[in-house]
Amino acid sequence: MLTRKQHELICFINDRLAETGVSPSFEEMKDALDLKSKSGVHRLISALEERQFIRRLPNRARALEVMRMPERGEQKLRVPLPSTSPIILPAAANDVIELPMHGRIAAGMPIEALEGQSTLPVPAALLGPGEHFALEVSGDSMVEAGILDGDYALIRKTETARDGEIVVALIDDSEATLKYYHHDGPRIRLDPANALYEAQIYAANQVRVQGRLAGLLRRY
């Protein structure tokens, strides 16, 4: 079952595609659903994508495809699908997405997370739903998790994490590191995956989660 806002959004996207052939912008979706910010649109889009009602088309701005409509499914769909069966279409194995490269990230002591203008081509099959970016790993503190110096970490954007997940943690709004995330009472503990390194412990207000590890790329 979809929530009311999810249902309103997919109907709005489907109507706009039927009228213009172009999916609406996030600003237009925000206004149409009377939301306060575009972050609410991102959450609705991700929820619809996870439920396989829509999908994002790689390498194209404002590219959303309605896979099926709620309730009676394809009988309500006004945009023709490439084929009538199956309705759920996985991304082609050779699809490539250009992820923004946000510089280097420490797998050791924290270093500055740099904003870059370059991109990294990534097979779409490596990524799940949601927005992603890439970081080049610097250091060896996560080698026991299979993350090596020079690897490219594929990060799904999020501001929350569960204990034990590998996250990009921004410390004091200036430095970033890739570590296992744990709550340690009122503090946050960032654990390495290398016996040579010690855990880093910070006050909760010093640490902000920027994303969770979704995959790795390695060049030989």
The SS3 of residue 23 is coil
What would you measure as the largest C-alpha separation in the chain, in angstroms? 60
User: Which residue, chain included where needed, has tokens 């009377």?
Assistant: 34
Of 5, 141, 157, 174, the active-site residue reads: 141
Is residue 37 part of the annotated active site? The answer reads: no
Distance from C-alpha of 101 to C-alpha of 216, rounded to nearest angstrom: 13
DSSP result, 127-169:
--SS-EEEEEEESSTTGGGT--TT-EEEEEE-S---TT-EEEE
Is residue 5 part of the annotated active site? The answer reads: no
Of 30, 46, 138, 179, the active-site residue reads: 179
Annotated catalytic residues are 141, 179
